Every structure is written in C-alpha cells, then in structure tokens.
C-alpha cells in the first residue's frame, strides 16, 4: 500500500507530561495518564508516490478545507516522514492531508491527535509492521509526546521509561469501563503565545519542579485507583491539584509562562459554584487558557447548560471518552 488514512482522538491528561529527560527521543520526566476524547479528532491521509518531486503538507483546522503549509508545522511532519522512510530505506516523497474538527493550539491537544493519526497513516502506507506498543513509540518520537497516548483506547498511561524502547503508552482501563465526559470551555481561540515545547524546556528552571516530581508517584497511584474504583470525587481532587501543579511550575519557570487568561480564573470560580449547586465536575487545564471539566457523561448536558451563555466564554466543546487511533479505508483525496 502507498496510500493510507488514519483517525486519532485528542486526549486530555489527568496527570500531565511536563518536562523532558531527553529532547531528541522525547523521553518525559514523569509518567502521565489521560483519557481519549471520542469526538475531537484528526484524520490524516498520506500518499507516497514516485511521481512526487517534493513532500506536500496540507492542514485543515476546525472544519476548514486543507491548505498547504510551509512553516514549522510542515517541518515537524516532514521529520516524521523522514524518520519512517529511513526505517524502510526509501526516499519516496509524499502528500499529506490532515483535517481536524476542533480549534488547534489552544490546549486541546491538537498535535496529539495529529501526530497519532499521521504516524499510523505513514506506517500503514509504508507497510511498516507494528503492534500497539511499537506504534506508540514511533508516535512519541514524532516530538509531540502526548500523542503516544492517543494510540491505545480509553484510559491510558504513558510509562516514562529510560530509553526509547520502554517509553510507551498502554491502556489502563478500556473505553467502556467508565463513562466520563470532557466539557471543554474555550475562553480564547487565539493561538497560545507559548508552546508546550517551551514549557517542557523551561520546566526544570522552576523551584517547584522537583517537589512536583516528588508528588507524582502518589498522584499517579491515586488516579489509577480512582479510575479502577470509578470514583469521580477522588479523581477530581487529583485532577485539580495536578492542573495547579503544572501551572505553578510554568508560572515560576524562567522565563515565566502564563497560559491562563483572566477568563480562565472566572471559569475556575464558577466550577466551585457549580459543585456547590450539587453537580460534580472537576477542572483541568493544559498548556493553554481553556478549561476542561471532567464529569459523568450523564451530567454532561447539565454541566454544559450551566456554562452556556457565560459572556466570558467563546465556545464549548464536549466529548465522551473514546477509543484510540484507527485505520480508515476512506481517503481524504
Ligand atoms: C500540557 O509536547 O505532547 O498537554 O505541544 O501538543 O506537541 P504538543 O504537546 P506535548 O505536551 C503536552 C503537554 C500537556 C500535558 C499532557 O498532555 O500531558
């Protein structure tokens, strides 16, 4: 096969990946745990042909039709193409077309779904044999580390490992184990000013980085346990502590990184009020200003309704937990 299409979900981290041990191999400083988001995804078609004289990358964000990109985004895609071409000992050029159904680069893990879909599509087009573990390793090497967690289905843990072969993502509970949803409160669709890449780089300069790392084994154990027991109160308490831990680390790094906007704080305050009203939902925030609320899927509509009409919000996205990356027969072009 020379042409293949794959679809992969975004994921929301309950315990965050923040800081790298090894930049080139994308080895993280700590394990992380996430849940895949069924309704926020990227679909990518890769077509290799001896007729192509150069690589071409087209990306369509948030329902827009794909347009050819020529910036850093293209470079990242080409690096992943090159890595996998080298593995197969070929030099054939490719056309890549990628679309996603949610805004990019605002802390909804667009590069996670993008790199998971891209890696699976390239591997399938080039007939690279893989299992779930090796595919998550190849995905991680693409540079968006969190993308490796979009390969397995459901609740997923990325083992940090200490070398490339043992740093991979695996399922800790299947999709149907616990019906949770993510209500994503978008306060700003403007591209974030600081990338996660910068955050990973400067994380170690925070005086709180080491105490964060010291806390994580207990937090990881509590999150695993909360998932196993389907205990939202326990999970929620860890989620919120973890989000604060990441952002305090970012804010106290050199240079400091502010991912929050004033509206982010308005949301957090309203989440406390929401809980006082008897609805259970807990916040987490990635490398952007938007807030993810994790709740039982039964409560998803009520949580969304609570925030509908808040003037500080731009838009709201929702998704239940979902499966991991899959191969598709239908190509984008
Ligand atoms: C805060 O380097 O995987 O989302 O910038 O999207 O490539 P990209 O992300 P990555 O860092 C993710 C950082 C995080 C936490 C997480 O998802 O674990």
pTM of the model: 0.96
Please say if the pLDDT value at position 192 is more than 80: no
Rounded distance, CA 205 to CA 256, Å? 10
Closest Cα to atom 14 of ligand 1: 286
According to the model, what pLDDT value does residue 102 have?
85
Contacts (Cβ under 8 Å, ≥6 apart) of 295: 180, 181, 183, 232, 279, 280, 281, 282, 303
What is the per-residue burial (b if ≥16 Cβ within 10 Å, else e) of 300-319?
A: bebbbebbeeeebbeebbbb
Does 149 sit in the ligand 1 pocket, CB within 6 Å? Answer: no
Probe target for ligand 1 pocket from 34, 105, 156, 287, with the most ligand atoms within 8 Å of CB: 287
Over residues 146-186, the pLDDT tens digits come to 999 999 999 999 999 999 999 999 999 999 999 999 999 99
HSE-CB of 158 using CA atoms within 13 angstroms: 36
**Cβ-based neighbour number of residue 322 at 10 Å:** 21
According to the model, what pLDDT value does residue 1 have?
65
Over residues 3-41, the pLDDT tens digits come to 999 999 999 999 999 999 999 999 999 999 999 999 999
Ligand 1 centre to CA of 36 (Å) is 14
Mean pLDDT of 201-228: 98
Ligand 1 centre to CA of 199 (Å) is 9
Ligand 1 centre to CA of 147 (Å) is 8
Over residues 112-155, the pLDDT tens digits come to 999 999 999 999 999 999 999 999 999 999 989 999 999 999 99
Helix (H, G, I), strand (E, B) or coil at 152: coil
Of residues 325 and 106, more confidence is placed in 325
Ligand 1 centre to CA of 276 (Å) is 31
Over residues 33-61, the pLDDT tens digits come to 999 999 999 999 999 999 999 999 999 98
Does 27 sit in the ligand 1 pocket, CB within 6 Å? Answer: no
Please say if the pLDDT value at position 104 is more than 80: no
Cα 57 to Cα 65, 88, 121, 123: the distances in Å are 13, 21, 14, 17
Over residues 47-101, the pLDDT tens digits come to 999 999 999 999 998 888 999 999 888 999 999 999 999 999 999 999 999 999 9
Exposed, middle or buried by CB within 10 Å (0-12, 13-18, 19+), for 133?
A: middle
Ligand 1 centre to CA of 53 (Å) is 33
What is the per-residue burial (b if ≥16 Cβ within 10 Å, else e) of 233-270?
A: eebbebbbebbebbbebbeebeeebebbbebbebbbeb
Does 112 sit in the ligand 1 pocket, CB within 6 Å? Answer: yes
Q: Which range (171-180, 189-198, 241-250) has the least confidence? A: 189-198
In contact, 96 and 303? CB cutoff 8 Å: no
Does 13 sit in the ligand 1 pocket, CB within 6 Å? Answer: yes
According to the model, what pLDDT value does residue 106 have?
58
Cis peptide before 255 (omega within 30 of 0): yes
């Amino acid at each position: 096969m020379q042409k293949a299409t794959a679809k992969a979900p975004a994921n929301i981290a309950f315990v965050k990946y923040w800081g790298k041990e090894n930049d080139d191999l994308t080895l993280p400083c700590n394990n992380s745990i996430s849940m895949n988001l069924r309704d926020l995804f990227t679909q990518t078609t890769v077509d290799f042909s001896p007729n192509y004289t150069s690589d071409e990358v087209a990306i369509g964000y948030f329902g827009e039709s794909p347009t050819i990109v020529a910036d850093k985004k293209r470079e990242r895609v080409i690096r992943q193409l090159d890595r996998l071409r080298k593995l197969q000992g070929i030099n054939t050029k490719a056309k890549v077309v990628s679309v996603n159904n949610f805004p990019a680069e605002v802390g909804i893990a667009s590069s996670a779904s993008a790199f998971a879909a891209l890696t699976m599509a390239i591997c399938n087009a080039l007939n690279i044999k893989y299992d779930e573990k090796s595919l998550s390793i190849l995905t991680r090497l693409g540079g968006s580390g969190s993308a490796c967690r979009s390969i397995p289905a459901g609740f997923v843990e990325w083992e940090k490992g200490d070398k490339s072969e043992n740093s991979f993502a695996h399922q800790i509970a299947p999709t149907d184990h616990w019906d949770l949803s993510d209500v994503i409160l978008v306060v700003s669709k403007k591209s974030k000013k600081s990338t996660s890449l910068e955050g990973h780089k400067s994380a170690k300069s925070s005086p709180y980085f080491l105490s964060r790392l010291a806390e994580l084994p207990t937090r990881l154990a509590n999150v695993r346990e909360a998932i196993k027991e389907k205990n939202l109160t326990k999970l929620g308490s860890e989620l919120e502590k973890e989000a604060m831990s990441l952002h305090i680390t970012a804010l106290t790094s050199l240079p400091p990184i502010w991912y929050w906007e004033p509206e982010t704080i308005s949301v957090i305050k309203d989440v406390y009020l929401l809980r006082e009203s008897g609805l259970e939902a807990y916040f987490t925030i990635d490398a952007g200003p938007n807030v993810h609320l994790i709740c039982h899927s039964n409560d998803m509509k009520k949580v969304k309704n609570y925030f509908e009409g808040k003037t500080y919000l731009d838009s709201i996205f929702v998704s239940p937990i979902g499966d991991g990356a899959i191969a598709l027969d239908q190509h984008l072009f």
